[in-house]
Structure 1
């Protein structure tokens, strides 16, 4: 294993059978990867959401590891990846992911993204469709929401971000008010009893480190500065998605409502809340197998 940079957390990795860990450097940042499955399996890149990291996938990995090479990336500033002071806007995160793929010599992958990692997945598929053979998006919105020059009417569901996103304030809430993070992680599930206490605390405590808290604040603030205006003004209206995409939505997700289908995007509602990888890993794995199999068939939409 390549050693972490000095600002990487000193906490041990959570134990998941069959998972190995390493670090790669890309764009001047040390990125942590958790990997499972055969080295010669079809590569699948998994992108976590906020407030989580690679361990988001700990219940999904055993479901897919028999015949897929699974690569769970900690995004810039999250989990065990390095947390520089800048670079958290979506365009930079897109370049991060593509640079990591280049470092791993991955010309093409299948992609799974959850929550803000799901939003990032759409931007990746728009920016570099030739790099992705299929995309599974979980608990997120696509860039073709009907905004009509204003924010969607259900934007109020993201009320909690006000405590985390404002510069200088968000990092303090993440560090010193862990009960708020704990409450939301439980609130976002359809059945909070799905949480094992140690798993819940892993995500809560990971955000309390100063550099992780600052990074989390920046991830959300950059979304406010760049992505929300892009949605409100319909920046993606004329862009066409060339990567076959399936969206899974939890029927009891309290934040993101099922999106409308658009060309190239199929929407499916399954039992669960906002944290489908934790709540319904079998549905996620089954959808991934089915979608990636059909996405690779002749006639599937491609660029």
Structure 2
């Protein structure tokens, strides 16, 4: 399986020389779903099929991931958010709801800050904003995020280390972050690993941006620019004060703690579809 059954796929230009691979299904009010790491748009297969009963559901592969283009630039979340606004515009939607998981949630967060006239509702799954993430991940609690520090290193070292054994590296997160191993069946796991294997440099660039320019952008906005739309955040209980961190950015916040694992759209798709539809 490489795309969501029943969905149409498109290549949509978003910038000069850059196009995204996008799956689209259903009719009705539009919602865009952004995948996380180490995945592609296929992570939304159950949720997207549910929502397509009464929504136009748009599922891109992010810049640098899956079947989308992998340029050597443009991995700051501001540019990646502009990609998503461009996709929606090309499909005829001036306004849309937006949900993101993991890396996709960071893109969604930036889209909400930069394009408040476009995003009607925002949902972020199992992240905290980039600036806050670096503040709270320290001491032994930072061990779970070792990959953040690895991919923050200057170009060369992380790419070579990861490319030496990509299936072990990316497969580690699919195993360690899943409470229900059956949520990611073998064919889907194989798809994720194959997609990541061919995207090591661009994935590293995405993460490296979160230790550099993304921090600069968040720092510029902190305290002055807030999310104006209704925001829902679903998180595992990390013990890191997620609700307080999010409330500083989102006055209209609905924060919920979930018991499923990190890959919640695959482990508890009914919960996620119900939350998004509500």
> Is TM-score (shorter-chain normalized) higher than 0.5?
yes
1:34 pairs with 2:23: yes
RMSD: 2.3
Structure 1 residue 95 displacement after superposition:
1.8
CA distance in 2, matches of 1:101, 1:219: 21
State TM-score, norm by structure 2: 0.88
CA distance in 2, matches of 1:101, 1:15: 19
CA distance in 2, matches of 1:162, 1:37: 40
Structure 1 residue 197 displacement after superposition:
1.4
State TM-score, norm by structure 1: 0.81
CA distance in 1, matches of 2:62, 2:3: 20
Give the alignment partner of residue 99 of structure 2, picking from 79, 93, 112.
112
CA distance in 2, matches of 1:207, 1:144: 25
Matches within 5 A, 1:221-232: 221-229=208-216
Q: Which residue of 1 aligns with 2:257?
A: 269
Give the alignment partner of residue 238 of structure 1, picking from 216, 220, 224.
224
1:247 pairs with 2:233: yes
Q: Which has the higher helix share?
A: 2
Structure 1 residue 66 displacement after superposition:
0.7
Give the alignment partner of residue 190 of structure 1, picking from 158, 167, 179.
179
Q: Which residue of 2 aligns with 1:298?
A: none
| Structure 1: runs of 5 or more not aligned | 1-12, 291-303
Structure 1 residue 257 displacement after superposition:
6.6
Q: Which shifted more, 169-178 or 237-246? A: 169-178
Q: Which residue of 2 aligns with 1:278?
A: 266
**Cα 1:74–1:153 shift into 2, 3 Å:** closer
**Cα 1:174–1:204 shift into 2, 3 Å:** farther
Give the alignment partner of residue 142 of structure 1, picking from 119, 125, 129.
129
CA distance in 2, matches of 1:159, 1:135: 28
Give the alignment partner of residue 5 of structure 2, picking from 17, 20, 30.
17
CA distance in 2, matches of 1:134, 1:144: 22
CA distance in 2, matches of 1:162, 1:273: 22
| Structure 2: runs of 5 or more not aligned | none
For residues 17-42 of structure 1, the C-alpha deviation after alignment (integer angstroms, 9 at most, x for no partner) is: 2111111112121111011212xx11
For residues 190-245 of structure 1, the C-alpha deviation after alignment (integer angstroms, 9 at most, x for no partner) is: 23232211111211121111xx11100100111111223555x5741222220110
